[in-house]
Structure 1
């Protein structure tokens, strides 16, 4: 299953993460916002749609830069999840957690200490490796 996620960076160099609602899978853990790619949907288009639904902001495909991916080692009885992470520094609107949970901005040094699902741990490590010192 293909999933897309966004590492949105603000002007202060902080990254936006979403804390999943406690009643959902991986509830209470911090993740990069995003969601599933629907059949016949381009990943970047899916991310534009998902971010609008989840955060209430508008992003443009042209402003998305592919960053990295992470995939499950195995999945029991279903296709493994593969998350494609894109980065962006541009959006319009005010960020809000429209599907529950909460959102917050984090400095790169603080991201490693957050409780995250396994694939988001891998994505965060790869994202931060790519950042200039």
Structure 2
């Protein structure tokens, strides 16, 4: 088990210091897909999943021995019908989020190129958003990305 970095974002949107000996970390690859006009893709969590109906950036859990890039390519294809070249994945930032059901390390990656036709294979909704986003509620783990994108706009 890798050490837990500080600070940790909690599911209620607050930062706290990590506690030693806490739960195992689940690694998740997350894609921030951005079009040339600056819009980015958000998808809703499908029915039957934790936080169903919340909006997030697409992605999913890494399988044992899988890289962030390979996991993101697999997840985007399985869930959205999109094809990406793992070489086009640009790792951007990481955020640890302590949800009631899991301690999750989100590996945010930026993508500007993909192929295929967007398909909601799990019955989720999608939106190409810009700041401020129109969809709600937004999953707590996605909130830092919105802050980072806003900081880039004002820099």
TM-score bin, normalised by smaller chain:
0.7 to 0.9
Q: 1:115 to 1:94 in 2, by over 3 A?
A: same
Give the deviation of 1:13 after TM superposition: 1.1
Alignment equivalent of 2:68, drawn from 30, 33, 43: 43
Count the aligned residue pairs. Answer: 130
Distance 2:106 2:53 in 1: 19
2:122 is the alignment partner of 1:99:
yes
TM-score normalised by structure 2 residue count: 0.75
TM-score normalised by structure 1 residue count: 0.86
Alignment equivalent of 1:21, drawn from 16, 24, 46: 46
User: Which entry has the higher C-alpha Rg, 1 or 2?
Assistant: 2
Distance 1:10 1:101 in 2: 20
In the alignment, structure 1 segments of 5+ residues that lack a partner are none
Distance 2:109 2:84 in 1: 12
Counterpart in the other structure of 1:123: 145
Counterpart of 1:5 in 2: which secondary structure? strand
Give the deviation of 1:64 after TM superposition: 1.2
Deviates more, 1:82-91 or 1:22-31: 22-31
Q: Does the Cα contact within 8 Å between 1:68 and 1:127 map onto a contact in 2?
A: no
- Structure ranking higher in helix proportion: 1
Counterpart in the other structure of 1:89: 112
Counterpart in the other structure of 2:133: 110
CA RMSD of aligned residues (A): 2.0
Q: 1:10 to 1:45 in 2, by over 3 A?
A: same
Give the deviation of 1:94 after TM superposition: 1.0
